[in-house]
């Protein structure tokens, strides 16, 4: 087993998304004007240096975004990193040093800290989930419950925390969810029959239109079920992944036993009702994957600050 989706790297596409976010952040902070406070108080030729410090313990994500931010804002600054994305740091760790024109440093400060703090918060929460399931077969995945515009950066941060990326978007794979089935089922058709037929039709669609060549995740077909009866109906169709939605632990264990007997090559994913208190019990049920929307939509930014170097 191990039918996986594409995993986000810090690549050209991620950098482009970061650039877009910085442009929006600049618009928010400067509104095509100037940093009037800095212009009023700081001489144009003044240079200096400041350390970026993580006030809290956590996992690093977003270090590579700092250079992108400086470049996008046209700052006369250099950044010397002391850590790398994915590193675990203790409280009051210096992440790196910014040096150059003080006016540029002051104007860039908040945008850099906002991006870094947000990404580190996601990475740190992801790492907490990964730690909770250690020693079980389960892998932790994110979802599409991301901040609009931030998806690649947040998913990259998830990986920095040691978790894995679910599909990046609707274009990335076929994931048949309950709302799809509600529109697909024939009047009076049993839910299990509709689910099995949906998997067959999705397979046929991919073959007929050669859409699999356009899918970044190698033609994965995943289907969501919310009853064991639906699971029994879809397993013979051999979808790569079946998502067990909002099932109790007893149902998850029964689903794993059923999968092992009928279709051991199919991966099972648990979703719904997952938090730091429940995730280990879910992992011990024997499922292969646990998707957690809260990794991104409930993450709290880490406290990251700027300390002037004297």
Q: What is the pLDDT of residues 9-56, one digit of tens each?
A: 999 999 999 999 999 999 999 887 888 999 899 999 999 999 999 999
Q: What is the pLDDT of residues 74-84, one digit of tens each?
A: 989 999 999 99
Q: What is the pLDDT of residues 148-194, one digit of tens each?
A: 999 999 999 999 999 999 999 988 889 999 999 999 999 999 999 99
Cβ-proximal residues to 170 (8 Å cutoff; 6+ apart), any chain: none
Among residues 27, 177, 207, 300, the one annotated as catalytic is: 177
Q: Which fold has domain 12-130+299-308?
A: Aldehyde Oxidoreductase; domain 3 (3.90.1170)
Q: Does 155 qualify as catalytic in the annotation? A: no
Using the predicted structure, report yes or no on whether residue 310 has a pLDDT greater than 80: no
Q: Does 167 qualify as catalytic in the annotation? A: no
Using the predicted structure, report yes or no on whether residue 213 has a pLDDT greater than 80: no
Q: Where are the domains of the chain?
A: 12-130+299-308, 135-297
Cβ-proximal residues to 96 (8 Å cutoff; 6+ apart), any chain: 51, 52, 63, 66, 79, 80, 81, 82, 83
Q: Which of 186, 132, 182 is nearest to 161 (CA)?
A: 132
Q: Which pTM was predicted?
A: 0.94
Q: What class does CATH assign to 135-297? A: alpha beta
Beta bridge partners of 257: none
Q: Does 224 qualify as catalytic in the annotation? A: yes
> Which of 3-17, 102-116, 211-225 is predicted with the least confidence, judged by mean pLDDT?
211-225
Q: Does 110 qualify as catalytic in the annotation? A: yes
pLDDT of residue 31: 85
> Could you give the percent of the chain with pLDDT greater than 90?
85
Among residues 55, 82, 97, 145, the one annotated as catalytic is: 145
Q: Does 214 qualify as catalytic in the annotation? A: no
Among residues 23, 110, 200, 207, the one annotated as catalytic is: 110
Burial class (CB within 10 angstroms; exposed 0-12, middle 13-18, buried 19+) of 80: exposed
């Amino acid at each position: 087993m191990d039918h996986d989706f594409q995993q986000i790297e810090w690549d050209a596409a991620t950098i482009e998304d970061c650039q877009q976010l910085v442009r929006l952040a600049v618009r928010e902070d400067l509104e095509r004007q100037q940093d009037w406070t800095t212009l009023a108080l700081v001489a144009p030729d003044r240079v200096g240096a400041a350390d970026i410090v993580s006030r809290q313990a956590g996992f690093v994500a977003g270090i590579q975004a700092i250079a992108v931010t400086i470049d996008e804002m046209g700052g006369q600054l250099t950044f010397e990193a002391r850590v790398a994305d994915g590193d675990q740091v203790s409280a009051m760790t210096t992440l790196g040093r910014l040096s150059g024109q003080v006016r540029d440093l002051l104007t860039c400060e908040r945008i850099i800290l906002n991006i870094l703090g947000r990404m580190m918060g996601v990475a740190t929460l992801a790492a907490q989930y990964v730690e909770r399931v250690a020693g079980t077969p389960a892998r932790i995945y994110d979802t599409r419950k991301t901040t609009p515009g931030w998806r690649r950066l947040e998913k990259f941060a998830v990986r920095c925390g040691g978790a894995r990326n679910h599909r990046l978007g609707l274009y990335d794979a076929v994931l048949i969810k309950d709302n799809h089935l509600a529109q697909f089922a024939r009047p009076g058709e049993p839910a299990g029959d509709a689910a099995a037929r949906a998997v067959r039709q999705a397979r046929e669609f991919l073959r007929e239109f050669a859409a699999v060549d356009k899918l970044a995740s190698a033609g994965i077909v995943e289907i969501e079920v919310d009853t064991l009866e639906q699971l029994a109906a879809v397993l013979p169709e051999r979808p790569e992944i079946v998502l067990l939605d909002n099932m109790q632990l007893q149902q998850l264990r029964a689903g794993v036993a059923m999968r092992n007997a009928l279709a051991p090559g199919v991966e099972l994913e648990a979703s719904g009702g997952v938090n730091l208190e429940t995730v280990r019990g879910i992992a011990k049920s024997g499922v292969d994957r646990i998707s957690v929307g809260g990794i991104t939509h409930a993450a709290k930014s880490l406290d990251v600050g700027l300390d002037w170097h004297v």
